[in-house]
A and B are shown apart, each in its own frame.
Chain A
Amino acid sequence: MQKMRVRNHQVVLNRSVGGDAGIAFFLIIMGVFMFLPMYYVIIQSLKPLDELWMFPPRFYVQHPSFKNFSDLFTLLSDSWVPFSRYIFNTVFITAMGTFGNLLFSSLAAYAISKIPFPGRKGCFWIIQRSLMFTSTVTAIANFLTLSTFGLMDNLFAIIIPAWGSSMGLYLMKQFMDSSISDDVLESARLDGCSEFKTFWVIAMPMVKPAWLTLIIYSFQGLWNTGASQYIFSEQLKTLNYAISQITAGGIARAGASAAATVIMMIVPILVFVITQSNIIETMASSGMKD
Chain B
Amino acid sequence: MEDRIDKNNDTVMEESENLQNSIVNEESEALDNTENVNTENEGSEVTTEDAAAEDQNKKKEKKKAVSRKDMTMAQWTWHEMKRNKIAYLMIAPFMFVFILFTVFPVVLSLVLSFTNFNMLEMNWEMFIGIKNYTRLFFEDDIFLLACKNTLVFAMITGPVSYILSFLVAWFINELSPRIRAVITLIFYAPSISGSVYLIWATLFSDDAYGWVNGVLLDLGMIDSAILWFHDEKYAMTLCIVVALWMSLGTAFLSFIAGLQTINKSLFEAAAVDGIKNRWQELWYITLPMMRPQLMFGAVMAITGSFGFGGVVTALCGFPSVNYSCHTIMHCLDDYGSTRWEVGYASAIAFVLFMIMIGANTLVNKMLSKVGQ
- Cross-chain contact of B258 among A15, A175, A217 (Cβ < 8 A): A175
Which residues of chain B (83-128) have a CB below 8 Å from chain A? 84-88, 90-91, 93-106, 108-109
Instruction: Return A69 CB to nearest CB of chain B, in Å.
Output: 16
Chain A CB within 10 Å, residue with most, of B23, B172, B199, B210: B199
**Is B81 in contact with A118, judged by CB distance below 8 angstroms?**
yes
Is B168 part of the contact surface with A, judged by Cβ < 8 Å?
yes
- Cross-chain contact of B189 among A34, A123, A170 (Cβ < 8 A): A34
Q: A19-B278, A140-B336, A193-B30 are in contact. Are A272 and B188 (CB under 8 A)?
A: yes
Which residues of chain B (179-211) have a CB below 8 Å from chain A? 180-181, 183-190, 192-200, 202-203, 208-211
Is B237 part of the contact surface with A, judged by Cβ < 8 Å?
no
- Comparing A25-33, A70-78, A81-89, the segment that makes contact with chain B is A25-33
**Is B263 in contact with A35, judged by CB distance below 8 angstroms?**
no
Main secondary structure of the interface of B (DSSP, over half): helix
- Cross-chain contact of B200 among A37, A138, A209, A213 (Cβ < 8 A): A37
Q: A265-B194, A272-B192, A276-B185 are in contact. Are A115 and B87 (CB under 8 A)?
A: yes
Q: Which residue of chain B lies nearest to A279 when distances are taken between CB atoms in the complex?
A: B257
- Cross-chain contact of A240 among B194, B211, B215 (Cβ < 8 A): B194
A-B contact count (CB 8 A): 323
**Is B193 in contact with A265, judged by CB distance below 8 angstroms?**
yes
**Is B97 in contact with A160, judged by CB distance below 8 angstroms?**
yes
- Cross-chain contact of B214 among A55, A164, A269 (Cβ < 8 A): A55
- Cross-chain contact of A132 among B190, B211, B357 (Cβ < 8 A): B357
Q: List 10 contacting pairs A-B, 8 Å CB cutoff, sorted by A.
A: A19-B277, A44-B199, A55-B214, A57-B209, A123-B91, A136-B333, A140-B105, A145-B100, A145-B105, A164-B100
Main secondary structure of the interface of A (DSSP, over half): helix
**Is B187 in contact with A34, judged by CB distance below 8 angstroms?**
yes
- Chain A to chain B: the 7 pairs with minimum beta-carbon distance, closest first: A164-B97, A141-B105, A265-B193, A56-B214, A117-B84, A194-B30, A138-B105
Q: A163-B94, A269-B193 are in contact. Are A120 and B104 (CB under 8 A)?
A: no
Interface string of A262-290 (1 = CB under 8 A from B): 00110011001100110110011000100
Could you tell me the distance between the alpha carbons of A123 and B103 in the complex, rounded to whole angstroms?
11
Instruction: Return A229 CB to nearest CB of chain B, in Å.
Output: 8
Is B281 part of the contact surface with A, judged by Cβ < 8 Å?
yes
- Cross-chain contact of A116 among B5, B276, B292, B353 (Cβ < 8 A): B5
Is A155 part of the contact surface with B, judged by Cβ < 8 Å?
no
Q: Which residue of chain B lies nearest to A192 when distances are taken between CB atoms in the complex?
A: B28
Interface string of A184-226 (1 = CB under 8 A from B): 0010011011111101000000000110010011001001100
Task: Kindly list chain A residues whose C-beta atoms are within 8 Å of the C-beta of B81.
Answer: 117-119
Is A244 part of the contact surface with B, judged by Cβ < 8 Å?
yes
**Is B171 in contact with A268, judged by CB distance below 8 angstroms?**
no
Task: Kindly list chain B residues whose C-beta atoms are within 8 Å of the C-beta of A116.
Answer: 5, 8-9, 80, 84
Task: Kindly list chain B residues whose C-beta atoms are within 8 Å of the C-beta of A34.
Answer: 186-187, 189-190, 245, 248
Instruction: Return A19 CB to nearest CB of chain B, in Å.
Output: 6
Is B307 part of the contact surface with A, judged by Cβ < 8 Å?
yes
Instruction: Return B134 CB to nearest CB of chain A, in Å.
Output: 20
Could you tell me the distance between the alpha carbons of A105 and B215 in the complex, rounded to whole angstroms?
50
Q: A37-B203, A136-B332 are in contact. Are A13 and B271 (CB under 8 A)?
A: yes
Task: Kindly list chain A residues whose C-beta atoms are within 8 Å of the C-beta of B189.
Answer: 34, 38, 265, 269, 272
**Is A115 in contact with B84, judged by CB distance below 8 angstroms?**
yes
Is B12 part of the contact surface with A, judged by Cβ < 8 Å?
yes
Q: Which residue of chain B lies nearest to A273 when distances are taken between CB atoms in the complex?
A: B185
Interface string of B240-256 (1 = CB under 8 A from A): 00000100101001100
- Comparing B44-52, B63-71, B294-302, the segment that makes contact with chain A is B294-302
